[in-house]
Amino acid sequence: MNKVAIVTGASRGIGAATALRLASDGFDVCVNYLNNEQAANAVVENIRSMGQKAIAVKADVAKENDVKRLFEIVDKDIGTLNTLVNNAGILLPQSRLVDMNEERINKLLTTNVTGYFLCCKEAIKRMSTLYGGHGGTIINVSSAASRLGSAGEYIDYAASKGAIDTLTIGLSKEVSPEEIRVNCVRPGLIYTDMHRDGGEPGRVDRLKHELPMQRGGKAEEVAAAIAWLASNESSYTTGSFIEVSGGR
- The alpha carbons of the chain give a radius of gyration, in whole angstroms, of 17
CB of 2 within 8 A of CB of 210? no
Which helix or strand (DSSP H or E) is residue 182 part of?
Answer: strand 180-187
* Annotation says 157 is catalytic: yes
Nearest-angstrom CA–CA distance, 107 and 240? 28
Nearest-angstrom CA–CA distance, 232 and 15? 21
Q: How far is CA 65 from CA 2, 56, 79, in A?
A: 26, 17, 20
CA dihedral 187, 190, 193, 194 (to 10 degrees): 40
Q: Which residues have CB under 8 Å from 103's CB, separation 6+?
A: none
CB of 219 within 8 A of CB of 244? no
Catalytic residue (choose from 33, 131, 157, 236) = 157
Residues annotated as catalytic (active site), given as ranges: 157
